[in-house]
Amino acid sequence: MTSTLEQLKAMTTVVADTGDFAIIDQYKPHDATTNPSLIMKAVEKKEYQHLVDRAVEDSGGDVENAVDRLLVAFGIEILKIIPGRVSTEVPASLSFNVEGTVTKAGDLIKLYESNGIARERILIKIASTWEGIRAAEILEGRGICCNLTLLFSLTQAIACAEAGVKLISPFVGRILDWHRKNTGKEYSSEEDPGVLSVREIYKYYKTFGYETEIMGASFRNTGEILELAGCDLLTIGPSLLDELQGMETPVARKLDPKTVNSEDMAKTNLNEKQFRWEMNEDAMATEKLAEGIRKFAADLDNVRDIAARKIAL
């Protein structure tokens, strides 16, 4: 019988959520995503030290340039394996800086293009703050496609769609984490708050004809993944890819634009004041967004430290 993973690939674009080339090659995903945490784990492995050394050598002794080159180096190696796109993240410290995000994204794209990689194969990852969404709107207008990450609410999703963002990454598992912690309750896959959040976003997008792609992310178990079968994309970490590959559970399509019931869905038009207020009223989204930004910023600082030590040698 066909594995559960292969069945899933027939209805959803499967994306590998890792910076490990061997894992990407093993599971043959269409796309791949990286973030500072994944890159930090990868650069600590001996087999990737040559990429660190090359980035440092080409940086001219500039730590920020070395980090940019390292992020792009991982992306280039990943693109040698996959047929689709790779996501590369701007520093989380720029999450509230429109101009800084636009500039950094441009720098990363220039590095890719100088290595013969077309910008169509790159998604620039940006945190789904108001400022991040505004930066993405500018970048999309320049032909630079964006992946709005750390997304925890319909409010963020609507703002991204209105800005013409290419893709969003709702963080299913982190939504579940928050609800478990704050309610003390365990949830079945069918009632998982993260799953329900993505379904609501999917329904909204398909009802009003938005072309922004939805990529479920940050999964805690295969049940969450299977409950979102049919989503535009799902980015899945190595352990869950392995589990799905070893399963033969039949996969039923749970999300389908042809079966969306939109009778109770009203369109929302968001301005900045409304966005900030609705985020303020959503404790889960506010807390998880801030937590994610802090964590990604800290992990990229660790990558900078590695580059700085190499430069100092």
The CATH number covering residue 40 comes to: 3.20.20.70
pLDDT tens across the length of the chain (313 residues): 799 999 999 999 999 999 889 899 999 899 999 888 888 888 888 888 899 899 999 999 999 999 999 999 999 999 999 999 999 999 999 999 999 999 999 999 999 999 999 999 999 999 999 999 999 999 999 999 999 999 999 999 999 999 999 999 999 999 999 999 999 999 999 999 999 999 999 999 999 999 999 999 999 999 999 999 999 999 999 999 999 999 999 999 999 999 998 778 899 989 999 999 999 999 999 999 999 999 999 999 999 999 999 899 8
Q: How many Å apart are CA 300 and CA 29, to the nearest integer?
A: 25
So what's the pLDDT on residue 42?
84
Q: Which domain holds residue 66?
A: 4-312
pTM: 0.95
Could you tell me if 5 and 244 are in contact, meaning their C-beta atoms sit under 8 angstroms apart? Answer: yes
So what's the pLDDT on residue 32?
94
Among the listed residues 107, 309, 149, the one whose alpha carbon sits nearest the alpha carbon of residue 233: 149
So what's the pLDDT on residue 110?
98
Q: How many Å apart are CA 313 and CA 311, to the nearest integer?
A: 6
Name the domain count of the chain: 1
Task: Give DSSP secondary structure letters for 230-284.
Answer: TSSEEEE-HHHHHHHHT----------GGG---TT-------HHHHHHHHHH-HH
Identify the active-site residue in 125, 203, 206, 310.
125
Name the β-bridge partners of 234: 14, 216
> 218 exposed, middle or buried (CB, 10 Å; 0-12, 13-18, 19+)?
buried
Taking the CB of residue 34, how many other CB atoms lie within 10 A of it?
21
Task: Give DSSP secondary structure letters for 118-133.
Answer: -GGGEEEEEE-SHHHH
Q: How many Å apart are CA 8 and CA 252, to the nearest integer?
A: 9
So what's the pLDDT on residue 148?
98
Question: Does the active-site annotation cover 258?
Answer: no
Q: What would the pLDDT profile of 192-251 be if each residue is shown by its tens digit? A: 999 999 999 999 999 999 999 999 999 999 999 999 999 999 999 999 999 999 999 999
Could you tell me if 303 and 36 are in contact, meaning their C-beta atoms sit under 8 angstroms apart? Answer: yes
So what's the pLDDT on residue 219?
98
Could you tell me if 69 and 129 are in contact, meaning their C-beta atoms sit under 8 angstroms apart? Answer: no
So what's the pLDDT on residue 36?
85
- Residue recorded with tokens 């069918």: 190
Instruction: Retrieve residue 231's tokens.
Output: 């989503």
| Coil, strand or helix at 150 | strand
Q: How many Å apart are CA 247 and CA 224, to the nearest integer?
A: 15
Among the listed residues 25, 44, 24, the one whose alpha carbon sits nearest the alpha carbon of residue 34: 24
So what's the pLDDT on residue 243?
97
Q: What angle do CA 97, 106, 76 make, to 5 degrees?
A: 120
Task: Give DSSP secondary structure letters for 15-38.
Answer: EEE-S-HHHHHHH--SEEE--HHH
